[in-house]
Structures are given as C-alpha cells and as structure tokens.
Chains A and B, each alone.
Chain A
Amino acid sequence: MASATEATHAREHWGSRVGLILAMAGNAVGLGNFLRFPVQAANNGGGTFMIPYFISFILLGIPLMWMEWGVGRYGGRFGFATLPRMFDRLWRNPIAKYLGVLGIIMPLIVFIYYTVVVGWLLGFSFFSLTGAYFGEGATGVADYLASFQNIREGSGGWVGFLFFGIVLAVIVSVLSRGISKGIEKLALFGMPILFLFGLVIMIRVLTLPETAVGSPGEGLALLWTPEWSALNDASIWLAAAGQVFFTLSLGMGSIHAYASYLSEDDDITLTGLTTASTNEFAEVILGGTIAIPAAVTFFGISGLAAVSGTYDLGIVAMGVVFQNLPGGLIWGQLLAFMWFFLLFIAGITSSVALATPAMAFLQEEFGIQRATVAKILGGLALLLGFANIWWLAGGFLDEWDYWAGTFGLVVVAFIEVMIVRFAFGIDNFWVELHHGADLRVSNVFKFILTWVTPLFLTLLLGWWGYTEALPKLMMDGVASDVERSTRWLSRGFMAALVITVLVLIHRAWQRNPGVSIPPSDTREDFEVAR
C-alpha cells in the first residue's frame, strides 16, 4: 500500500468546468426533485409551500451550498476530500475529526439503500419497454412493485435483486474510473438525457386532455395556489426548509468531496450557484409539472391522497398514467421508459456522489487503490443492500432513510455551520470563498451566513428533534414486535458502521497525525489570523 502522503499527492481534478457543474448537478438532482418535491408541496398547502420554499432557498440553501463548496475546496488544498480531515483543519480540536465521521457514514448509508431503489427504477424502465405491467390498474402496478421489493415471497424479488446487482456493477465501474474519466463522463452523458426526457414528459403532461376526474390545470392549481392564512403554520416552513436541504444535497459530505477535486484557484461562487440553479430548474419546473398534474388528471384531487406517498406517486401512479395516455400503447410505453430512465439517471448520478466520500477516505487515509476501494464498497453495498431488501417490509430501509437520509443531514450541516461560524470564523471563510471567484457574493449573504443560517438550522434541528426524531426514536406507532425488532436490527447495523469508521479515523490519525501537505498558495491572511 502506498502511504497516505503519496496518495494525496496523486489527487485527481475535474476535467472541465461544465463537467464539474453537471456532476455536481447530478449529485443534487435526484429522486427528491421529481418525487419528494411534488409530494411535499401537495401535502403542505401547495402554493403556500412554495413561498417558504423560495425564502428557504435564499436564506438556507444558497449560503449553505457556498459553505460546503468552500469547505470542500479548502480541504482539497491539503489533499483530502472527507469531513474528518476538513473539520480537523477548520477546528484544531481532537474531537473535530470524530465529528466528521457523519460525513462519511451518512452518504455511505444513503448510497446503499438508494442503490436498491435505483434498481427498482432500472427494472421499471426495462419492463416499461416490454410492457410487462401494462394493462394493470393501480393495484396491479402496486403488486408489481411489491413483487420487486419482496424477495422473501415470490420470484419477482429476485428480478429486483438482479437489477440491483446491475446498478451496483455500473456504479463500481464508474467509481473505478475515477473523477474525470468516470463520474464526470457519467454526468456529461446522463444529465442532458435527464433534462431532455424531463422536458418531453413535461410537455406531454401539460397538453393532456381533461378527463372525467381531473386535468393538468387542476394539478398546477394545487401546486401554485397559496392559502395566505396557512403561512402561520410553522410545520409548512419547516417542510419547505427541509426540502431545500435535501434537494441541494446539503449535509451529505458529497459536495465537499466533489469540491475538493477542484484546483485551488478555481471559482466556486459562480460554479456553485450554477449548480444550484440547475437543480432548481429540475425541481420547480420539471418536478413541479410532471407527477402531480399527471396524477390529478387521471386520479383527481380526491384520488391523489391515495397515491401521495413518494413511491406510490412516482412508480404506481405514474405507471398507471402512462397506460392511459392518448396516442396508443407504444407512445405510453416509450414515455414510461423515459420517466423511469430519467429517475434512474437522477438516482445513479446521486449514488456515485454518495459513494465518493467513503471512496476518498479509504484511498487517502490507507493508500488503497481506487479500483480496489470501488470493489470493496460494491461488496459492502451488495451485502447491506441485500439486508435492506430482505427486511424491507419490517422497516429496515425506513430507519436508514430517516436517520441517515433525513435527520442526519441536518445534524451534519449544523455541526459544520457551528465549526465554520465559531472556530474557523466567517471572515476567514469569506476570504476562502472569494479566492479565484468569478462572482462577488453580496455582504448580505455574509450577514445571513453569520446570523440567519445558524439560527434557522438550530430551529430546524430543535423542532424536528422534538416533533419527529424523538417519537421516531421511541418507535411511536410501531405496534408489531417483529417490526420493532427489525428496526432495532437496522439501527444496530448503522451503529456498527459508525463504530467501524470511528476506529478507522483513529487509525488514520495514528498513521498521519497531522496534515502532511502544506497549503500551496499564499493565502496568508487567514492562516496568520488563526
């Protein structure tokens, strides 16, 4: 094995700025844009939700996004792509590196179960082309999805497992090729297809004729008609803030990892904003005009409630919608393929981003070759993905999704904001952010980052902790003993992963206690100030 120092000297970089933007956009544009966003909007007052959504995007999303790009590029200057080393540089305290464990574990856990879901989507893409589930009603499509999901009862589950394996093989292959030849190439190929398919489906949905139960216009009305009195409801504001958080992939560690592969003088202000705007285009325009208007057209406003779960809407409801499109079966099958393949691309570009922090950690700290690390992660995902599939009905995946993919993100971002705000200093960060910048960020955002974002995050964490996380921790509403056991097992797996990575961090610091590579530029101002 090469030493950690040797490994860090051989760091890769992005091949082009557009490639970086599309890869970052691929990281951010995921299932949340097309499935979670419309469901959240519809369940939280539609137009009422959109007002706090845009405010949160400006007060929370953009500042945090810039912070993560800045911290990531800063870590890359020292040759590292993961939060333990970044936190250790930002805050010279022995605890800092251990807090960074979350920046490896959270994306790793999400990567594993996300890959399982992406497998379902690839399967539905394939079976859309063959028309295998066409002719079924909502119940039939739901049963078809269940047969994918349930490997224990029926042979369909093994088909789902096969697609999961194919997705994993693609991811391992991409990761093995590295940043510019693997991840960037995937984004350059996948993202244009995603947007093209999204635009085609959007236009088709918006031009659907009215049915006996609804129309696309009614779906749009649901999403864009504000109810002013509901703006007093704190839960709508928190739901909107949460959606902004998830859609930009904040608190994941993946933005940090990607930004660390920038050259140290590369712009991050304009590039970061471009990525965020690309994500918003995918979410507000494509995500907001496909699933809900289509579902309302064929199920009606009253029928929407029955299919408003994330997978119910995105897979079951849309599976039915495409069967009923005017223009014939072939057109329906083609559009269904485009929809599920779009979701597959959104999922797989996010998956490789989620795997990157763990990849980088093993490469940089232990000098393991990239291809070997990719295979190790693929093997781990296969094993633990199988556990997710096997115990799916017992809530195994739900536990991972909540603690790592929902609550954990806010925790990571909260820790990061506090470290940057109180240990590193906003003034130092402002200098770092503007190094090589093509866009001067208004000092209004400095004020927001100093006061508003930390307060907003503290409220978000406190509110969710009290109203959601505590009941979830106590398993309120989980009556079945079998399900409680499964959920404890799921938590046990997560705890084991956390402990393992904590031990690895400890070992890494034994091998390389400090940062061995000095920063190579002359940003003495804040180095001296510290």
Chain B
Amino acid sequence: MNIVFATLAFLLQASEAGEAAQADGLSGFSWTFMIVSMAAVTLLAVWCYARIFRGKRHFDPDGTGPEHSPVEGKVDQEGGV
C-alpha cells in the first residue's frame, strides 16, 4: 500500500509541477510522454507487488528456508509450460 500512496502523492505533485513545467517549455507531447512512461513503470511495480502479496508463498520465518515451497507455482497448477 505504501507504494500506492507514494504513487498518488507523486502524481498529485506531478500534476502541480506539470502546470509550471508547461510554462517552462515542456511541450504537451513531452508532458504526456513523461506521465505515460512514469505511470507505466509505477503500474508495473504496483501490479507485481499486488500479485506477490496476494500469493503469500515462500514464507520461512526461521530463515533457513523450506526444502520445498509449500504450494506449487500457479503455472504448475495450471498444467506447466
């Protein structure tokens, strides 16, 4: 969730900065290119972490590691490659 809040904070800040930036010569295309690129990178990270936290596999509190993961990976469950 931290990363989501951080993203929101960033986008809010970026939108304010954007108004100033446009006045400084950041063209409409450049502004769009920057926001789309940053949003894509952020969304990829958020999507990955969301899947990781939903999965909850590989939990090993003693720090020595299980010999095998407690459950198969999703790809194996669906029938492998």
Residues of A within 8 A of B (CB): 12-18, 21, 47, 50, 54, 180-181, 192, 195, 199, 202-203, 206-207, 210, 215-218, 220-221, 223-226, 261, 263-267, 269-271, 273-274, 277-278, 280-281, 284-285, 288, 430-431, 434-440, 520
Q: List 14 A-B contacts (CB under 8 A).
A: A13-B63, A16-B60, A21-B52, A199-B10, A203-B9, A203-B10, A207-B16, A207-B17, A226-B33, A261-B65, A263-B68, A267-B55, A437-B76, A438-B55
Cα–Cα, bound, A224→B17 (Å) = 14
Interface flags, B26-69, vs A, CB<8A=1, else 0: 11011101100110011011001101100101111111111111
Cβ-defined contact, B26 with A436, below 8 A: no
- Chief secondary structure at chain B's binding surface: helix
Which residue from A224, A267, A520 sits with its C-beta under 8 Å from B73?
A267
Cα–Cα, bound, A228→B29 (Å) = 12
Instruction: Give chain B nearest CB distance to A427 CB in angstroms.
Output: 9
- B4 part of interface (Cβ distance < 8 Å): no
Cβ-defined contact, B75 with A434, below 8 A: yes
List of B residues within 8 angstroms of A21 by Cβ: 52
Instruction: Give chain B nearest CB distance to A442 CB in angstroms.
Output: 12
Cβ-defined contact, B9 with A430, below 8 A: no
The 6 tightest CB contacts between A and B, nearest first, are A13-B65, A217-B24, A217-B21, A274-B48, A180-B63, A277-B45
Instruction: Give chain B nearest CB distance to A218 CB in angstroms.
Output: 5
Cβ-defined contact, A281 with B65, below 8 A: no
Cβ-defined contact, A435 with B76, below 8 A: yes
Instruction: Give chain A nearest CB distance to B16 CB in angstroms.
Output: 7
Q: What range describes how many residues of B lie at the interface?
A: 35 or more
- B1 part of interface (Cβ distance < 8 Å): no
| Residue of A261, A265, A273, A280 ringed by the most chain B CB atoms within 10 A | A265
Instruction: Give chain B nearest CB distance to A497 CB in angstroms.
Output: 32
A199 touching B9 in the complex, CB below 8 Å, given contacts A217-B17, A440-B75: yes
Cβ-defined contact, A270 with B72, below 8 A: no
Instruction: Give chain B nearest CB distance to A349 CB in angstroms.
Output: 18
Cβ-defined contact, A439 with B33, below 8 A: no
| Residue of B10, B16, B26 ringed by the most chain A CB atoms within 10 A | B26
Chain A residue at smallest Cβ distance from B70: A265
Cβ-defined contact, B34 with A224, below 8 A: yes
List of B residues within 8 angstroms of A285 by Cβ: 10, 38, 41-42
List of A residues within 8 angstroms of B42 by Cβ: 281, 285
Cβ-defined contact, B25 with A217, below 8 A: yes
